Amino acid sequence: MQLLSSFFAVKPRESRPPMGTRLVGKRVMLREAEVGDWRQWSALRGLSRDFLKPWEPEWPANSLTAGFFDGMLRRQWKDWRRGKAYGFLICDKQDNKLVGGITLNDVRRGIAQKGTLGYWTGMPYARQGYMTEAAALMCEFAFDALKLNRVEASCLPHNEPSKRLLQRLGFTEEGYAKSYLRIDGEWQDHMLWGKTAGN
């Protein structure tokens, strides 16, 4: 019994990259959002509202305000420090223009060692390869820096661009969840995807 207790007391070592970590690829740079990013973030989200709303949770009335943005940043910083989630802005490496955002949410340790991938692209930059590179960098971050074993993702069944993105990244379709998430004001079914370290 003593041996069994000792075995279960051992926890996998957690790797927590410092805040301010940047992930750099050929075309994109992923960086932590800062207070000064609000105007650019709000402008891109506002321009892309009709493009994004079918794929996202219902937008609150204040969703483009400085107050909403500041609250989002505080939650992101708190989650990063606790090792619960890691959020980045996606920027074009050449001119630092904002093209979207990507997050590894719901990071779980212990016997799970996994996180959930979420992402959005501004309408002017969709289908130009930005998200493919950004999501690949995020998966590398999850497996190499955070030492996770698994990254999960979900998408609406009719979201063909997202399905193609996940396939390109080596995710495997693993199931179908009824009324999985409340998107655009309605509970909607989702396809479930997964990718493991070394895949």
Confidence of residue 36 (pLDDT cuts 50, 70, 90): very high
Confidence of residue 13 (pLDDT cuts 50, 70, 90): low
CATH numbers and ranges of domains, the chain:
15-149 (3.40.630.30)
Q: What separation in angstroms does the CA of 165 have from each of 15, 109, 131, 154, 188?
A: 27, 26, 8, 12, 20
- For the chain, what percent of residues have pLDDT higher than 90? 89
- Bridge partners for 23 per DSSP: 30
Exposure letters 84-111 (e unless 16+ CB within 10 A, then b): bbbbbbbbeeeeeebbbbbbbeebebee
Q: How far apart are CA 116 and CA 195, in angstroms?
A: 10
DSSP, collapsed to helix, strand or coil, labels residue 82 as helix
Q: What is the pLDDT of residues 102-144, one digit of tens each?
A: 999 999 999 999 999 999 999 999 999 999 999 999 999 999 9
Q: At which residue do the structure tokens 């910083």 appear?
A: 77
Q: How many other C-beta atoms lie within 10 A of the C-beta of residue 196?
A: 16
Mean pLDDT, all residues of the chain:
92
First-to-last C-alpha distance (Å) of the chain:
37
> What integer pLDDT is reported at residue 16 of this predicted model?
80
Quick one: tokens of 27? 């075309």
**Global pTM?**
0.90
Of 165, 159, 150, the residue nearest 180 (C-alpha): 159
DSSP, collapsed to helix, strand or coil, labels residue 180 as strand
Q: How far apart are CA 104 and CA 16, in angstroms?
A: 13
